[in-house]
Homo-oligomer: A and B are copies of this chain.
Amino acid sequence: MVPEQEAYEYVRDAFVSAGVDEGVAKDTARGMWFASIRGVDSHGIRLLPHYIEEVQGGRINPSPEFEFEQMAGAIGRLNADHAFGHAAGKRAMEHAIEMADEVGAGHVVVANSSHCGSMAYFGLDAAEEDMIGYASTHSTSNTKTPNSTRPFFGNNPICVTAPMADEEPFCFDAAITPITFNEVKQRRDSGQQLPPSAAADENGEETLDPHEATQLLPIGDYKGFGLAMVGDIMNGLLSGMPVGRDISSMFGDPMDEHRRLGHYFSAVQVDAFVDVEEFKQDLQELAEDIREEPRKDSDTPVHVPGDPEKEAKAERIEEGIPVPKHTLERFDDIAEEFDLEPLVEEY
């Protein structure tokens, strides 16, 4: 376990040492910390070595010039100039919120971006301004198309947020597959089977064997596939970026090629529809009603979307962020390369 504040500072300093502009380094490190502290380790600080490679390889522009163009009262586009997606997304959502302040809604696509981590990092900014937030991205083709033998779309995540009266905002943030490919790999290492309806082999047959699994299955078969296609339409076609199998791969493709990812963000004012304080109170009561529903397994809570992340956050602020040994060793190499204080376990 590493202390959460030190983890953030270490990641930020590593980026700055690698030549990343300070504002971008801060936003990206904060996004990785944000995922780690909420238990979403797949998008957390463990990605630092990969991201440093992306900067050093030229895939990521360390000194981007963000260009925002507003095309209508509620519509804008941010050219991210091949920056880290985390920094691009923060700025795009800011513009969406500004337009929503003016006309009630703001929609912003991001072009020429890269991996942006956890969608909640952007969606929650809208909810903090008493708006309904929406954040999405497309991603590498890894999800089986119904009745095809292979993937076409990625497992394109969707995030929707809304403000609540007495706690951090409601936050639904999910990819359109039951599990991620990271989980497939973890189960390979630990010798565990896959859950049903989660993955398929290279012939498109469902498999429970993580070593056979080459692609993910969408939730609800053609329904999850449809949501993935909506994702490519909004994140890819509306931003002018590639779609489907033309989207580059996070790990497989060369580090000197830009990824050209697209994202889509929107913010909608709650107070334009109903009194926002009443809305927040109503949503609070709705969440509490759900948590009090009769339990099938009495020892396990009935959760509202976002509850596991809120629980992880409370725990990790106290106890730190778990980082696997091999990741910490790579962190040490980075510390040595850039002459930084290494990040050390304190719990």
Contacts and interface: CB of A to CB of B under 8 A. Distances in A.
A104 B238 contact: no
A320 B78 CA distance: 49
A279 B222 CA distance: 23
Contacts of A104: 71-75, 107
Please tell me the size bucket of the interface on A: 35 or more
Given A105-B75, A204-B296, A219-B220, A303 B152 contact: no
Nearest to A221: B178
A229 B296 contact: no
A240 B281 CA distance: 12
Interface stretch (A56-64, A182-190, A283-291): A283-291
A260 interface: no
A270 B149 contact: no
B103 A293 contact: no
B274 A238 contact: yes
A324 interface: no
A77 interface: yes
Interface string A266-283: 001110111000010011
A64 to B, nearest CB: 21
Interface of A: 71-75, 77, 102-107, 109, 132, 145-150, 152, 160, 162, 170, 172, 174, 176, 178, 196-197, 203-205, 219-227, 229-230, 232-234, 237-240, 243-244, 268-270, 272-274, 279, 282-283, 286, 289-290, 293-297, 300-305
Given A147-B302, A220-B220, A244-B286, 13 more contacts: A71-B104, A73-B73, A132-B238, A148-B290, A150-B293, A152-B289, A172-B227, A174-B226, A178-B220, A196-B196, A197-B197, A205-B296, A225-B305
20 contacts: A72-B103, A72-B272, A74-B74, A74-B105, A75-B272, A109-B273, A145-B302, A146-B303, A147-B295, A147-B300, A148-B290, A150-B293, A152-B289, A174-B222, A176-B220, A178-B220, A219-B220, A237-B279, A238-B274, A239-B274
